[in-house]
Chains A and B, each alone.
Chain A
Amino acid sequence: MNTPLTSVAWVMFASFIGSLGSVGLKAGARNLKFTIPALATNWQLMGGIAGYLISWVFFMLGIKHGDLSVLYPMVSLGYVFTLFWSKLFFGEALTRSKFVALGLILVGVGLLGLGTR
């Protein structure tokens, strides 16, 4: 099946927004307090959840057309974005083992995509 470039673009955009959502969730999780007012005013957490929902809408737009075995693995590109966000926003170390692990994951996801054809 042919995958239109617009579908690829939507899915990539979705994974980008999703990775930003993960930053919101992590930032919000650091200030987590289990009372309803505290949760409702945890704007980072709420922003993270909103990011995920928006990302889901774009993903759905993207997978309307095109080959799922190509589009679905592309979501894993979000992990690459997240690696850089965690350095930028949380000062996490980008170690070699993280890059190796991420590389393996991307290869594995690609292999699964090939196996789904």
Chain B
Amino acid sequence: MLNDKPQGGTLALVDDQPEADILLNPKTLPQSDGPRISTDRQKRMALWMVIAFTLLASVAQIFIKTGANALNKVPAGSVTALALGSMHFQISTTVFAAITSIPLMGGLALYGVGAVMMVLALQHGELSVLYPVISLSYVWVAILSVLIFHEHMNAFRVAGIAVIIGGVAILGRSGSRASDPGK
């Protein structure tokens, strides 16, 4: 992660802020908080965390879908969200229903937890390995749609699930191999 080359465009994001670079580069600090060069174990952990993130995100998506469907049944209009003396702040019933919808807000909260896991995972391992692993969320959604919404499993879905898992497995191999230089 730290063997950044000083030349070239690879560090463009950090070069724009030289003072931040000095502050944040552990090499210039007397003590860094923890090892910054990722071990194979950390890279494997990162992969599993992204996989867990995809499951969380898919469950979140189903919550959001359920919540959004319920929103369509809310009659149009407005409600008073806040009354201060004679002042009444009106918001639309749809917005009010969205804010108070447990599936919708629960889904967003799950997404938030997932996002934290994703950032933790990105500390170790390559972006080009970890990011496409998110495609597993398509697999989870397909499986959950069949289990929860009783959609039909068909040949296309089975093939799609198998092919995606194959692709992610190849990424997983290249992501945790010791010969791959850690970035």
Contacts and interface: CB of A to CB of B under 8 A. Distances in A.
Interface of A: 19, 22-23, 25-33, 44-45, 49, 52, 72-73, 76, 78-79, 82-83, 85-95, 97-98, 100-105, 107-116
A87 B9 CA distance: 10
B73 interface: no
Contacts of B171: 97-98, 101
Of the four ranges (under 10, 10 to 19, 20 to 34, 35 or more), the interface on chain B belongs to 35 or more
A95 to B, nearest CB: 6
Contacts of B161: 108, 112
A44 B13 contact: yes
A30 B10 contact: no
Contacts, number: 148
**Binding site secondary structure of chain A:** helix
Q: Is the interface of B mostly helix, strand, loop or mixed?
A: helix
In the complex, which of the residues A73, A86, A112, A116 has the most CB atoms of chain B within 10 Å of its own CB atom? A112
A73 B138 CA distance: 8
A23 B127 contact: yes
B118 interface: yes
B119 A98 contact: no
Nearest to A96: B174
Nearest to A76: B135
Contact of A108 (B4, B131, B138): B138
Given A105-B167, A109-B164, A27 B13 contact: yes
Given A31-B24, A33-B33, A101-B170, A85 B162 contact: no
